Structure 1
Amino acid sequence: MIQRVGAACNVSFSTQVFGGKCKISDVLVLRLAPCHVSHFISFRSSAMDQRVGFLLLVLTVTVHGHAATEGDRDFKMCGIWKHQSSSQTLDINLKSGCSGINISANASVLSIHGSIMANCKVTDRKSLTNNFWNSSFCVIWEPLLDQLVVEVNSEKIPLCNSTGLQTTCCAHLSAGTQSLSKEYGIQYASVHGDRLSDNIMASYNFQGESINCKEYFCSKIAQESRAANMLEEVVMRSKEVGSVFLPCGQSTIIMMKEGFAGNNVTLPAPRGTPQERIPLVHLPACLKPKARKTAKVVCSYYKNSTFFQKPSQKILEDVVGISVENEIITNLPEPVRIKFQHPTLEKTHSRRCVSWDTRQDKTVMWRETGCVTLRLSVSETECCCSHLTYFAILVDVNPTRNLRHLEALTFITAVCCAVSIVSCAVLFISLCRQRKSKNQSSLVHRGLVVALFFLLVLFVLSGTVANVTSDSVCGFMGGLLHYTLISVLCWMAVEVIHTFWMMYMVFNPPPQPWIWYLLGFGVPAVPVLILGCMGDIYGRRTVKSDDELTTPYRMCWMKETRPALVAHFVINTGLLAALASSGLVMLYLVFRKIRHRDEWRRNRVAFLSIWGLSCLFGSTWVLAFFSSEPSETVLFLFCIINSLQGLFLMLRFFALEKIQKNSESSSDFSSTGSTRQHMLQPQDRN
């Protein structure tokens, strides 16, 4: 029975399942916080006493197991101290040197004597909290920091606080002589989780070795996946301020006090590094947490470090890490700025600021999220980042999926889209004048013109929106652009269906107008809404050039994430393939239908009819299927032809209207001037 008085006493149980049944008696983990006990547990046998001792050892390993893997802790000895229920004492006598350390215990005293410290000297006796007859304890030695800590029943007792990073230290403590005890002493002793003995021992001796502690620490953490984090953690705990040098990285420690107004930091660099090649860091005033009077920030510099290299990603030799003590810094209103000096890069080599990210999908990657790249010159790049981690310049020596002549293509597309926008507006007004004729061809044309008009407008505005608005606004803009693109393709499909109806189902009444509007404007909304609800589909997209990588084109469209790419190939490419194939078939059928007419012999009529029908049926989009590895000619043709679709439709409409009015056989033509019906009516009418 345990009765809690005063301080809390926490007990937690962990069970394992064997054969479908929980066995609490076999596997238990207890966590005993210091507490005053008025009634203690009475054990009826020594076997039960040994089991509790073993449980306390499991407790020690469980609570401190993670810390044992940290690279800066060279020695960690844990065990169960079997003592009397009366008061206990911790006896300490530590000196500088490297002769070794003795850890011993009896019925009332736990002693730590020896000579392993670099600078610290301490002689003291401390009274400990009474904790039944057994106490769990650990002795933790961090030679790099010259710091020794004793934990008794989860109570940390620092014996020597860190005075800085040590160059020469006493490490590699190995077990030496041991002495047995009958009743009181140390049981279940282990070093870093490796059991030394299950017996009760009166004392353990450990001998050390004098080494270069900084080199040893760097070689030790180099094998860890979070090596850079471990280096910054030990520098943060070193209590130093100013420049700190280690073989694997150099750091500057700054104490941000009240009234901190920002700071420009020149990082320390390894020997032989020219001063003009050292990164410069600007820390904004908003970096200091408002809730704290003082906060420590560590700026670390790594050159040619193996900590950060990934086989799939090539970064330049300089890496800068920034962290604030006990804080996770994100979404800074003013960014941290890191100016990198690097060798001259070729114009065809892309460079962008990236940060070391381990939060997403538990995979360590260099990511562009949260950083803006400013290319100051061919040998100077500045990174403006709204969060803290490790920063570097990612270089793509052999860029792929980039476009040649991006600037020229962008200009041509913008001009052609502007011309088509005006043409669509003029054509729509002209078609609206024919509404009284109740010609269904005019209705279908109007739907296509409206969809094409909004597609061109949104496409022209997309680049501006991507550069000046937030990600959420750009995502909404990308969804609208996708909707108008699908709407244009659907209206072209409606043109194909309507033409087929006119040619081969003359005696059947055409569908109601609302059906065409549903197919052209309603159906495209369904996939866009589904993709929008899925998330991570629409957003900012960057298109880069092989000629000048410093001026990429940004637009609001579908992202380059896997779900977005799948949606693009299934929806966009699938719909385009169906439209192009059906459009080509319909062009062939129209050609067979009108090739024997008198009008066909007039070259202008033949050319305008087929070319206009190609735009109506979406046949010009077949060039998109040659754009996976496009030649420059195909690329320019695709941009020009599809950007000028509005102009081609308008020219065909007015040219055929004029031909109709001047034709001697005008009685054979429809008075509506429909661009397609002009060439599809029967030759003889009753």
Structure 2
Amino acid sequence: METRMTDRSLLTLLLLLVGCSIGSCTDDTNFKFCGSWRHGNNTHTLNYDLSPGCKNITVSANDSTLSVVGQITSQCTKSGSKSLKIDSVALWTKFCVHWEPLKDHLWLELPEQKLHEQKVTLCEPSCTQTCSCLDLSPEGANRPDGEYGIANGSVQGDRLKDKVLTAYVFLGEPINCTGEEPCDNASQRSNQVKITKGIEMGSHVVGNVTLPKTNATVVEMKENFQGFDFKAPAPDGADPETLPSIHLPASLKPAPGKRAKLVCTFFRNKTLFQEPKRDVKILEDVVGITVENEVITNLSERIRIGFHHDALNKTHSRKCVSWDTKTDPQKVNWKEDGCVTVHMGAKKTECQCNHLTYFTIMVRLERRTVPHLLALTVITSLGNAVSTISCVALIIFLCNKRRAKEQSSPVHLGLAVSLFLLNLLFFFTGTLANVGGEGLCRWVGPGLHYALLSSFTWMAIEVFYTFWMVYMVFSPSPRAFFWYLIGFALPALPVLILVAIGNIYGIMEVVPSDDPSNPYLMCWMKNTPQALLAHYLINISMLVGLVSSGLLMLFLVYWKIRTRNEWRHKKVAFLSIWGLSCLFGTTWGLGFLDFGPLSTFVLFLSCILNSFQGFFLMLRFYVLGWVKRREEGDSTLGSSSLTGSARQQMLQVQEKQ
């Protein structure tokens, strides 16, 4: 593995790299405009006037002159005219204008010429451009059509106009030359990808290869390949202990009877791949791993890459990311998919990935963190466990034959069942996220979301049912089937829509303030723009409506009972109002007060009230039932719900009148 490349191999690789540098390798940003020039049969001339900048380029023609004028180049300043010799006396001549912005290369091509010049170079290719014009787009046919001009204009093969126009104008869009990323980084990143391909095809032996700004190791894998461990080649002056280490698993071995060449490329110039965002950065090393003429994904045994780095600030988190080379190679597109991050101390991070591409460590500088996450997690877990048991007891209590006959029992039973499902799933969501990973969370996440929406729906039904019983005394309430249909079927609709959209449910990270590098994982909505939009449109809007209607109904109920004798029973009255506040979901409104100096207090209070909500509901029903048995015959709040007592009082008033 320590042999060096032969002179012939180096020469082959050098020729390949030089070929890329002068334009033989194409880029997706290249521009090609073609058309048919209708002209007279006199002399023919090419006029050009080019200067640096990024405004527009105009290709125009008349009976004797074809013109290319614009301000789109990086360094080229050139103007003049050139006589064109057309092979035939035909009135139509096909031509193409080529523009490679990343190389500042512009030329005119006459593809059908055989006896005379086919290519006229207007701007020679440059290796040191300072800025480039990209994405030349047609401004439109803003020049009138005529007898002479350009017909059948097309860009990249896409037809623009069929009729003869005197000119086509294309607007340029400058690449960002004032931001944090140097202008030539996009070109250099693209060239580095080609360099890796060149090493694969150009080297005839295995071992270490030294290139400008990069080092590489070529590994030849045979059918008996059992895995391989090695470190990055040490550049001059580098400490070998700080270089990345690679473990190649046996699952990379080629098919029987075949060999495959694997190339590991090590970049120490992070500016080539730096994420153009202020809140994230990548560390010093970038490692690219490719197999000759193959795309490797879904490995049964993950590759392992160990990165050494300086100790990070505790407020910063680190993640393994891979560069998505399937999209535009001119753009930085780091993704976390397919890699697992293993923290091996403050100064080492191991990436375990199931595919091959470019890998590095990304550090997030600014993240919204949660203070006292460990304490909140313990409280939530304890509350969920107690509430789950309490909901089971409450379901048994409401299914009692005597209780089942009451009109309010189906409504209370539906809320108890939905809260049971919510607390049960929330209790296990952290464990399921760590054990099952992203695949399992795609199923658990929708279930947890459905349980939450179902709980909100049943709380809204409680609000409506209270209004019905208090203000529509003589009207019969809807049947239990109607409540069950709304409370259990309706919340499934938005969840099914989000599942169909995709990229919504999965693993969500909750970052602790004291240790951002060790986030708490749970199955819920992912941290994606689509999931965030769905959260606000569905969850937050529904919560706002629930809390608003719940507070209004609490006020109306208090207004009805404030003058009654039973209100003097302070404990029972307070317990009833407290129970109604849980039924109406008003405790969830504390989440809107999580700001300012009381943020931590509100966070703990909201966590306690909502995680123990099932326990508080069970306590209310049992205590009110106990009070009712003690004060049998009295007109108190000790019915199965405050709404039942309110209806009884209003019936008595109506009879007296």
Match of 2:620 in 1: 652
- What root-mean-square deviation, in Å, do the aligned CA atoms of Structure 1 and Structure 2 show? 3.6
> 1:206-261 CA distances to partner (integer Å, 9 max, x unpaired)?
xxxxxxxxxxxxx9988434132122123223315311112311111111123111
Q: 1:370 to 1:310 in 2, by over 3 A?
A: same
Residues 385-396 of structure 1: pairs in structure 2 closer than 5 A = 385-396=353-364
What is the alpha-carbon distance in structure 2 between the residues aligned to residue 220 and residue 622 of structure 1? 51
Q: 1:579 to 1:18 in 2, by over 3 A?
A: farther
For residue 240 of structure 2, what is the amino acid of its counterpart? Q
Residues 75-114 of structure 1: pairs in structure 2 closer than 5 A = none
279, 292, 301: which one aligns with 1:325: 292
574, 584, 590: which one aligns with 2:541: 574
For residue 536 of structure 1, what is the amino acid of its counterpart? N
Match of 2:162 in 1: none
198, 202, 205: which one aligns with 1:234: 198
What is the alpha-carbon distance in structure 1 between the residues aligned to residue 325 and residue 583 of structure 2? 50
Match of 1:121 in 2: none
What is the alpha-carbon distance in structure 2 between the residues aligned to residue 657 and residue 81 of structure 1? 97
Secondary structure (helix, strand or coil) at the match of 2:226 reads coil
Q: 1:329 to 1:580 in 2, by over 3 A?
A: same
Task: Tell me by how many angstroms 1:188 deviates.
Answer: 3.3
Checking the alignment, whether the CA contact within 8 Å between 1:279 and 1:339 is kept in structure 2 is yes
Task: Tell me by how many angstroms 1:508 deviates.
Answer: 1.3
> 1:249-308 CA distances to partner (integer Å, 9 max, x unpaired)?
111111112311111121112212111101100111222332672211111111133211
Match of 1:528 in 2: 495
Q: 1:437 to 1:367 in 2, by over 3 A?
A: closer
Larger mean Cα displacement after TM superposition, 223-232 or 324-333: 223-232
164, 188, 197: which one aligns with 1:224: 188
Q: 1:415 to 1:551 in 2, by over 3 A?
A: same
Match of 1:369 in 2: 337
What is the alpha-carbon distance in structure 2 between the residues aligned to residue 192 and residue 248 of structure 1? 32
Task: Tell me by how many angstroms 1:48 deviates.
Answer: 6.0
Match of 2:304 in 1: 337
Task: Tell me by how many angstroms 1:603 deviates.
Answer: 2.2
266, 289, 306: which one aligns with 2:231: 266
Q: Percent identity?
A: 46
Q: 1:469 to 1:49 in 2, by over 3 A?
A: farther
For residue 229 of structure 1, what is the amino acid of its counterpart? V
Checking the alignment, whether the CA contact within 8 Å between 2:323 and 2:332 is kept in structure 1 is yes
Checking the alignment, whether the CA contact within 8 Å between 2:624 and 2:638 is kept in structure 1 is no
583, 595, 601: which one aligns with 1:633: 601
Secondary structure (helix, strand or coil) at the match of 2:409 reads helix
What is the alpha-carbon distance in structure 1 between the residues aligned to residue 616 and residue 223 of structure 2? 68
Is residue 2:268 matched to residue 1:300?
Answer: no
Task: Tell me by how many angstroms 1:515 deviates.
Answer: 1.8
Is residue 2:347 matched to residue 1:379?
Answer: yes
Task: Tell me by how many angstroms 1:670 deviates.
Answer: 8.7
389, 413, 424: which one aligns with 1:446: 413
Task: Tell me by how many angstroms 1:667 deviates.
Answer: 4.0
TM-score normalised over the length of structure 1: 0.68
What is the alpha-carbon distance in structure 2 between the residues aligned to residue 292 and residue 543 of structure 1? 49
For residue 433 of structure 1, what is the amino acid of its counterpart? N
Checking the alignment, whether the CA contact within 8 Å between 2:624 and 2:639 is kept in structure 1 is no
> 1:295-335 CA distances to partner (integer Å, 9 max, x unpaired)?
11111111133211123131111111111111111111111
Secondary structure (helix, strand or coil) at the match of 2:209 reads strand
Match of 1:204 in 2: none
Checking the alignment, whether the CA contact within 8 Å between 1:652 and 1:675 is kept in structure 2 is no
Where in structure 1 are there 5+ consecutive unaligned residues? 1-13, 20-45, 83-133, 135-182, 196-218
Is residue 2:276 matched to residue 1:276?
Answer: no
What is the alpha-carbon distance in structure 1 between the residues aligned to residue 251 and residue 89 of structure 2? 56
What is the alpha-carbon distance in structure 2 between the residues aligned to residue 470 and residue 517 of structure 1? 33
What is the alpha-carbon distance in structure 2 between the residues aligned to residue 253 and residue 388 of structure 1? 15
Checking the alignment, whether the CA contact within 8 Å between 1:613 and 1:676 is kept in structure 2 is no
What is the alpha-carbon distance in structure 1 between the residues aligned to residue 230 and residue 272 of structure 2? 23
TM-score normalised over the length of structure 2: 0.71
Checking the alignment, whether the CA contact within 8 Å between 2:270 and 2:282 is kept in structure 1 is no
Is residue 2:316 matched to residue 1:349?
Answer: yes
Match of 1:661 in 2: 629
Task: Tell me by how many angstroms 1:549 deviates.
Answer: 2.2
Match of 2:580 in 1: 613
For residue 654 of structure 1, what is the amino acid of its counterpart? Y
Checking the alignment, whether the CA contact within 8 Å between 1:653 and 1:675 is kept in structure 2 is no
For residue 270 of structure 1, what is the amino acid of its counterpart? P
Secondary structure (helix, strand or coil) at the match of 1:334 reads coil
Match of 2:454 in 1: 487
Task: Tell me by how many angstroms 1:471 deviates.
Answer: 3.3
Secondary structure (helix, strand or coil) at the match of 1:369 reads coil
What is the alpha-carbon distance in structure 2 between the residues aligned to residue 250 and residue 334 of structure 1? 26
Checking the alignment, whether the CA contact within 8 Å between 2:504 and 2:526 is kept in structure 1 is yes
What is the alpha-carbon distance in structure 1 between the residues aligned to residue 404 and residue 203 of structure 2? 88
Checking the alignment, whether the CA contact within 8 Å between 1:80 and 1:187 is kept in structure 2 is no
Match of 1:406 in 2: 373
Larger mean Cα displacement after TM superposition, 547-556 or 312-321: 547-556
Task: Tell me by how many angstroms 1:17 deviates.
Answer: 8.7
Task: Tell me by how many angstroms 1:377 deviates.
Answer: 0.4
Checking the alignment, whether the CA contact within 8 Å between 2:213 and 2:269 is kept in structure 1 is no
Task: Tell me by how many angstroms 1:406 deviates.
Answer: 1.4
For residue 228 of structure 1, what is the amino acid of its counterpart? Q
243, 247, 254: which one aligns with 1:289: 254
What is the alpha-carbon distance in structure 2 between the residues aligned to residue 17 and residue 486 of structure 1? 63
Is residue 2:219 matched to residue 1:254?
Answer: yes
> 1:489-516 CA distances to partner (integer Å, 9 max, x unpaired)?
1111111111111111101111222221
Task: Tell me by how many angstroms 1:433 deviates.
Answer: 0.6
Where in structure 2 are there 5+ consecutive unaligned residues? 1-32, 39-84, 126-182
Larger mean Cα displacement after TM superposition, 574-583 or 308-317: 308-317
Is residue 2:572 matched to residue 1:600?
Answer: no
Secondary structure (helix, strand or coil) at the match of 1:545 reads coil
Task: Tell me by how many angstroms 1:681 deviates.
Answer: 3.4
465, 470, 474: which one aligns with 2:441: 474
What is the alpha-carbon distance in structure 2 between the residues aligned to residue 394 and residue 402 of structure 1? 17
Residues 159-170 of structure 1: pairs in structure 2 closer than 5 A = none
Match of 1:682 in 2: 649
Larger mean Cα displacement after TM superposition, 225-234 or 317-326: 225-234
Q: 1:393 to 1:288 in 2, by over 3 A?
A: same
Task: Tell me by how many angstroms 1:445 deviates.
Answer: 0.6
Q: 1:274 to 1:368 in 2, by over 3 A?
A: same
Checking the alignment, whether the CA contact within 8 Å between 2:566 and 2:636 is kept in structure 1 is no
Q: 1:224 to 1:79 in 2, by over 3 A?
A: farther
> 1:44-84 CA distances to partner (integer Å, 9 max, x unpaired)?
xx976799xx98x98xx99xx99x9899xx9x9x99999xx
Q: 1:15 to 1:350 in 2, by over 3 A?
A: closer
367, 370, 390: which one aligns with 1:423: 390
Checking the alignment, whether the CA contact within 8 Å between 1:269 and 1:301 is kept in structure 2 is no
What is the alpha-carbon distance in structure 2 between the residues aligned to residue 649 and residue 239 of structure 1? 73
What is the alpha-carbon distance in structure 1 between the residues aligned to residue 622 and residue 575 of structure 2? 10
Task: Tell me by how many angstroms 1:673 deviates.
Answer: 3.5
Residues 87-166 of structure 1: pairs in structure 2 closer than 5 A = none
For residue 368 of structure 1, what is the amino acid of its counterpart? E
429, 436, 458: which one aligns with 1:462: 429
Checking the alignment, whether the CA contact within 8 Å between 1:669 and 1:681 is kept in structure 2 is no
